[in-house]
Structure 1
């Protein structure tokens, strides 16, 4: 009888411990510094979205949220680094169409799996790219530019942030649809691309509107068209490339990820904060000025969006005839 009582008590103790573990609240987060990895250099569009998030989070939680720039290979270097970090909520990653939708189809090997190595948290924003040219090129409309590029096939160059970057794909599609050839010059950041354009070292680029539009307004580059299917509310007088080249539709996006296996309770907290931050009127207004649209969502909705974007860009890359590097 004594042994039976001991066994029963032990079983009850195990059950109580198990029940307590199931009902115990999630550990408080954050309790220390959080690193937000950006796969491009400081000052670019991805960096801007990351800093809006990091600054607001630091103000609310009172711990450092440090933006860590790790650029290279169209964002894949930073993505590979982030994928290898601990999945405890203290490393986050700002992914883009480049890192999570395009890269699998333009690189033969990647240092990460965009689906298996990351937990989607929330989308930040969407935006078109802007086709801008060096002002010395004698073209002010897209049909004029197409004629000029075709007449100078093989003589012009364009800049991007690297093979597979969201500002590389539209140039490849443009060449494929017009039959003109240009030389690709990769840079480390959009800032470098804009400087090269303004300095006369580059002919054209299909870069993020957040940086290209202010440059166009300042007159250092000439804006020709947007890469999205429809015109941008930020620059309604600029045509969409699709108005001249039907079917052209290459918008981009930026969103927040965590390493796979990060506790869902923490992921949900962060996702709710992204929604809070990117739903603020002042943030929405700031993004509109630079051509971006705030689009926070839930982890599950973001995961489904990412899957659909990978399928879409798989077809885009194939149609453009881009061979994996």
Structure 2
């Protein structure tokens, strides 16, 4: 009798061991992701608003996931180089993108040769924040508001130029929309990101810039740049005394946004974990406070909501790009 029970116990142990070995031999799943460092690609130079948002979010997401998230700036081609890198990365959740309206709406509309499809080549993770843009000038330019700038540009057409973070970016189109709605003439000077453009603006190598509010906010507060107007329909909570451009140019409105994307076919469990970590990071009081500093409106969407948002943005910006007659190779 004892021998029979002993034999039965041995068989049960062997079966349990086999099951454990089978489990260990399985590929990494939701329970193990992430097991190593995650790379968050920012498709613009360091110092711009997308970079600022990425670095704030990455630290808190890394804390939540238990793995470091390293921000890597891959600037060039208006965000296309970085976005294309992520589109072609292994779909395992370890390479993700801080996408924007440029990478997922404007560039696909503007480029003749499209390196990626913004909807088919990415797995949406979460729409993080919506960010106002702002029209800023070097204080040496003797204008104090939008009306005075329009008058100056009409009096001296093509004498002045405006900077942006690159061809085809929301900031470029913010300038083109301003020109078309006001009838002014000024040259566009594209840079490889907001950081280098701001450096020249602060040094007075160029006088005017359309920028994301986050990257200009500290300069506005210190007085090294003068803000003439925000580009959203409503004023920014962090700069209530800065009027909207629409107060002088009725109907004028542009803005940008930041969202997380992974390569298409990234496992749903990895997407879910990234989404949950992003939402938890955005709920952190320190992160929320940092976003409020530059009037970034926190969203924290589901992957499905981000997918719908991208489709809507492509539909919205199509007529703007056409009217501005912007197309690039």
Counterpart for residue 6 of structure 1: none
8 Å CA contact retained: 1:172, 1:322: no
CA distance in 1, matches of 2:165, 2:77: 8
- Offset of residue 61 of structure 1: 3.3
Counterpart for residue 78 of structure 1: 82
For structure 1, the 5+ residue unaligned runs are 1-19
Counterpart for residue 197 of structure 1: 201
Counterpart for residue 146 of structure 1: 150
- Offset of residue 123 of structure 1: 1.1
8 Å CA contact retained: 1:76, 1:110: no
Counterpart for residue 118 of structure 1: 122
For structure 2, the 5+ residue unaligned runs are 1-22
Counterpart for residue 315 of structure 2: 311
CA distance in 1, matches of 2:47, 2:215: 9
CA distance in 2, matches of 1:174, 1:87: 40
8 Å CA contact retained: 1:123, 1:296: yes
2:216 is aligned with 1:206: no
8 Å CA contact retained: 1:213, 1:223: no
CA distance in 2, matches of 1:188, 1:76: 12
CA distance in 1, matches of 2:156, 2:136: 17
Distance 1:272 1:61, change over 3 A: closer
- Offset of residue 143 of structure 1: 0.8
8 Å CA contact retained: 2:45, 2:73: yes
Counterpart for residue 304 of structure 2: 300
TM-score (norm 2): 0.88
8 Å CA contact retained: 1:194, 1:215: no
CA RMSD of aligned residues (A): 1.6
CA distance in 2, matches of 1:152, 1:322: 24
2:181 is aligned with 1:171: no
Aligned partner of residue 167 in structure 1, secondary structure: helix
- Candidates 24, 32, 42, aligned match of 2:46: 42
For 1:6-25, what aligned pairs fall within 5 Å after superposition?
none
Counterpart for residue 8 of structure 1: none
Moved over 6 A (4+): none
CA distance in 2, matches of 1:27, 1:168: 44
Map Cα deviations across residues 90-140 of structure 1 (whole Å, 9 max, x no partner).
111110011111111221112111111111100111111110012122211
Aligned partner of residue 170 in structure 2, secondary structure: coil
Counterpart for residue 287 of structure 2: 283
Distance 1:285 1:173, change over 3 A: same
Aligned partner of residue 142 in structure 2, secondary structure: coil
8 Å CA contact retained: 1:88, 1:262: yes
